[in-house]
Structure formats: C-alpha cells, structure tokens
Chains A and B, each alone.
Chain A
Amino acid sequence: MKYLCLIYENEAAWASHSKEEGDAVMGEYYAFTDDIKKSGHLLGGEALQPTQSATTVRVRNGKVSTTDGPFAETKEQLGGYYLIEAKDLNDAIQVAARIPGAKHGSVEVRPIMTFDPQ
C-alpha cells in the first residue's frame, strides 16, 4: 500500500538556520532517505522551494485567477514529501516518525487512493 508523507515545517525557522545547522539537517535527510531505500519503503520524494515562490491557481466561472503565495496562511508550510510503500498504517507511521522534519514540524500521512480499472 502506498502512502504520501507530507512534511510540514516552519519555514521561518529554516531560514534562520546557520549553514552548519542546515548541513546537519540535510545530513539527517540523506541518511534517512538511504535507510528507507534499503528497507524498500522509498518510492520517491522531493523537497520544495519555500512558499514565497508558490503560486496558487483557481478557476472560478471559467476564469483563471492566479495569486501569489500558498493556499492558506498557516504556521507550518509544506516543505517536501516522501512517497512510500508500507505494509499498513502502523508501518507507515514508523517510517514517518523517522523523517527528520517530524522532530520540529509535523508529517501528514495520507494513503494513496487507488482506482479500479474499469
């Protein structure tokens, strides 16, 4: 079963990291990614540019509206994701709990919807 682990972290805190702190966190991410590659959980994952680079697109009454910034103002922002293969939710939670971002921010675990071939 596939789960998407969405990593929400406080961007402002990230921005205030020193280079050493940033390197240390990246080191943790590299090690974690390596780990779940070996354990067979990893299907994919990316980090995202900060929300200041985000654009929100809506279509209302056929008209495209484009606004600056993320969808909603929250304290924590979506910073990246992992797509994993896990046995069940307990297995997925164990993987998600090891994502370095879980220590400061939060990780939302969403099962991937499967559609029956018609």
Chain B
Amino acid sequence: MSAEIKKKKKKESRFLSTLSRLKKNKMAMAGLIIVCLILLMALFAPLIAPYGYEEQDLAHMFSSPSSDHWMGTDNLGRDIFSRLVYGSRQSLKIGFLSVLMASVIGITLGAIAGYYGGKVDNILMRFLDVFQSVPAMLMSIAIAATLGAGMNNAIVAIGIGTVPIYARMTRAQFLSIRGMEYVEAAVAINAKDPRIIAKHILPNALSPMIVQMTMGVAGAILTAASLSFIGLGAQPPLSEWGAMLSAGRSYIRDYPHLVMFPGITIMITVLSLNMLGDGLRDALDPRLKN
C-alpha cells in the first residue's frame, strides 16, 4: 500500500516538476494564460458576445469602434467583436485539429522511415518528395476542392498538406538518434522496436517538434483564412478569423478596423502559442532542470 502511494507520488512529482519549471519561465506562463483566456472565450462565446455572429445592423454598416460596437461593424453591419469571439471556435478548431492530424501522421511516417531506413525510408521519402513538389497552399486548395467546401474538409486539407514537414523533421531526428549508444544498449537488453521508438528515440526527438507544432497552429489558422477567402473554408455567415481578415481586405483603405482587429487577434494567439511552445520544450527537457 505504502509503495503504491510512493509510486503515485513519484509520477505526480514528475508532472509537477515539469510544471514548476514551466512556472519559472515568465514568457511561457504569459503565453499559457493568454491561450487559456482564448480557450475560455471560445467555450463561453454566447455569454461573452454582445450580439450574434450573423446579426446585422444595416443602419450601422462600417461604423467605427464605439460603445455600442466595441470594435465597430463590418460591411454587412455585423458586430466585429462578437464575430471575433464566435470565430475563435472555428479558428482554434482548425488550428489544433489540423496540427494534431498532421503531426500524428507525420511523426508516424517519419519515425518508420528514420528508424528502419533502407527501402522503406526511400519509398516514403520519394512519396513525400512528390507531395512536396506541389506548394502546400495549392495542395490544401486541391484537397479542399476535391472534398468539398466546409470546415471539416478544410481541417483535413490543411492537415494533409503539412504532413511532410513533420515527417521530414521526425525522420532527421530519428536518423541522428538511432546511432546513439543508448539505442544500441536498448537492443542489447532485448527491447523491441516499438519500445525503442516510443521510449528511447521519440522523447529525445520531440523538442523541435513541439516548437514546430505551436507554430503550425498559427500557420494553420492563416491557411484556413486563405481557404475561406476562396470559399473553401468556413462557410458564411459562420465567422472565422482568417475569413474576416480576407473579407475586410477590400475595405482596408477606408475602414482599417475591419482587418485590424482580426489581425491583432490572430497575432496575439500565435505569439502566445509560440511562447508557450518554447517554454514547454525547455520544461520537458530534464537536462535543463534547475
């Protein structure tokens, strides 16, 4: 019984020690707080937003920020603040889910290619070469167009389009770590391939991936904006940050607030994710423990 408690404590302490290292990093904590706030905003959107995302006030089109409309209204008289709040649901969904998809597929492919090498590696990498020879944007558009317009298809399109980045990165990491003596030692004590990959190589290969993933979320939000722009992403009147940005683009001279606020929102989200990712990478590395 006591041993069980002790073990639990140990596991917990590992999580806590990572957290305490993260806490010491002020930038990372700031990032974490902002990310949490944005998540809360998405969660409680109907309570926060003063208007509906499709509610039009045709008498007040293009109105500048005021006490009625904190961030003004757009070309159809919709409240920009409300649309941003509701839009966070779509944007975060696209950002996180597409990165999740890309990294799961990419890391798996990269791990197989990097660990086994030889023919498997060659076939997978040539396949990715072909894949990458088409610009990522064009690829996403092609996939989204094939699958049809809509949020979920946009997520799949962006996810698949960014797989090669993760696959290549994982492969490169695996290639360098596979030659380390601790991997050989694991073979010598009868560890099987899945264990060696999951326990010995992957944890040591993950650092650059974490940073890539946080930046990937930002990239995905922006790609989603482009997809929305050509009508393949979020379908109007559904609001989405990128879509708002591109929709407001035509009025940028006369009514800059149409693009300014979505732009600032995207920037803050991306920045806070990057800060969090950076801190997370350091906190997860026991070598930097102090």
Is this pair of chains taken from one and the same complex?
Answer: no
Q: B-contacting residues of A (Cβ < 8 Å)?
A: none
B interface list, Cβ under 8 A from A: none
